[in-house]
Amino acid sequence: MQNSYTVGAHDQRPWGEWTVLDAGPGFAVKRIRVTPDGVLSLQRHNHRAEIWTIVTGEAQVTIGDRVITAVSGESVSIACGQWHRIANPGHTDMVFIEVQTGPILDEADIERSEDRYGRT
């Protein structure tokens, strides 16, 4: 198992920021904050699955060709290889916890299809 995440690692993105809360063999846990009107790229991963649990705010979640609304306390699962994105349609920050599982956990395992911020 390969995991490049370490507890306390963080990054600023055009849509907000993420921080690694916990990490170990085969898993990583991130706290992700998305600013109002922020949207992550439409992406997929070859080596990991994810579970997103909304903590605050409202999220618009795309998984494949489905778009759903999720609010505080609700979770969604994204299988390895599935196209997905999350957006904050609200007027305040939206925060969610992301649990990644898989044999290779690394920021390089992101294939982007669409991105508002020109990162495809």
In this prediction, residue 119 has a pLDDT band, given cuts at 50, 70 and 90, of: confident
Tell me how far apart the alpha carbons of residues 28 and 59 are, in angstroms, rounded to a whole number. Answer: 21
CATH topology of domain 15-104: Jelly Rolls (2.60.120)
Q: pTM of the entire structure?
A: 0.94
Residue 105, helix vs strand vs coil: strand
Residue 42 is predicted with a pLDDT of 96
Check the CA dihedral 79-115-24-33 and report its sign: negative
Residue 115 is predicted with a pLDDT of 86
Q: For residue 57, give Cα distances in angstroms to 41, 87, 88, 89, 120.
A: 19, 11, 8, 9, 27
Tell me the domain boundaries of the chain: 15-104
Beta bridge mates, 95:
33, 56
Residue 16 is predicted with a pLDDT of 97
